[in-house]
Amino acid sequence: MSTASAATGSPGSAPGWLTPAARAVEDFAGRSVDEWLAVCGKFLDWHRANRLLQDAPPEVCRESDRAHAWLLRSARMMQGQMLDPDFPHRELARRVETALWQLEEAWAQTHNPLTDAEADTLIARLFPADAPGT
Amino acid sequence: MHPELEALVRAYDAARDGLGPDAARLRAVFESQVEEALAQRPGLSRESLLNLVRLQHRRWLRAQQTPPALPPKA
């Protein structure tokens, strides 16, 4: 991996025995984040199918919220670590940031304080159906 | 649905769907549409607009679902 030197200094200055170890750590970090992203993707797909497209039973909502909150906490923790300028996987960092936003939005959708009636009032005021182009 | 609100909902849906290489760009497109909508509606808070889009997106998703097939006639 070409980014190994980012975590260990320049290749010339790193002790010979350290480079493979640092590379192994980087590979492990990359694989772990990739796996975590796959779990997030699966959860978000499930959330869309079971919490957005239909009304899940209360016990399913509670269990889903627990898993969701855990994923949010782990995403924030991971993002904090990736803000380190030495973190070598910039593309993974960008994907974690996107995953965090998607998790936050999914949570905001199932805990939206806006009621249907309030939404309809807002729509009538801000996006009237008789506006030009409607 | 008002075309501008529908465009916001569609952009939100695109940004919410998937973690592929295009995801950050799709989120930026949505954010820029939010800024545009807010600029045209002084007094509307960002959080109110986002809550409206979130709720409307949920309604829109449900409306997109294919209705269940009719049971066969007896």
Asked if residue A38 has pLDDT above 90, the reply is yes
B72/chain A closest Cα distance in angstroms: 25
Q: Is position B28 within any domain? A: yes
Nearest CA in chain A to B24: A98
The pTM is what?
0.83
At how many degrees (to 10) do helices B46-64 and B3-16 cross?
80
Token pair, residue B41, equals 């509606």
Check A108 against B50: CB less than 8 A apart.
yes
Domain ranges of chain A: 4-126
Asked if residue A15 has pLDDT above 90, the reply is no
**pLDDT value for A23:** 79
- In tens, the pLDDT along A45-78 reads 999 999 999 999 999 999 999 999 999 999 999 9
Cross-chain CB nearest to B23 (options A48, A98, A109):
A98
Give the total number of structural domains in chain B.
Answer: 1
Does the CB of B5 have a partner CB in chain A at under 8 Å?
yes
Q: How confident is the model at residue B68 (pLDDT cuts 50, 70, 90)?
A: low
**pLDDT value for A1:** 37
- In tens, the pLDDT along B40-67 reads 999 999 999 999 999 999 999 999 986 6
Q: Is position B71 within any domain? A: no
Residues of A whose CB is below 8 A from B3: 133-134
**pLDDT value for A133:** 54
Nearest CA in chain B to A103: B16
Nearest CA in chain A to B60: A53
Domain span holding position B43: 3-64
Q: How confident is the model at residue B39 (pLDDT cuts 50, 70, 90)?
A: very high
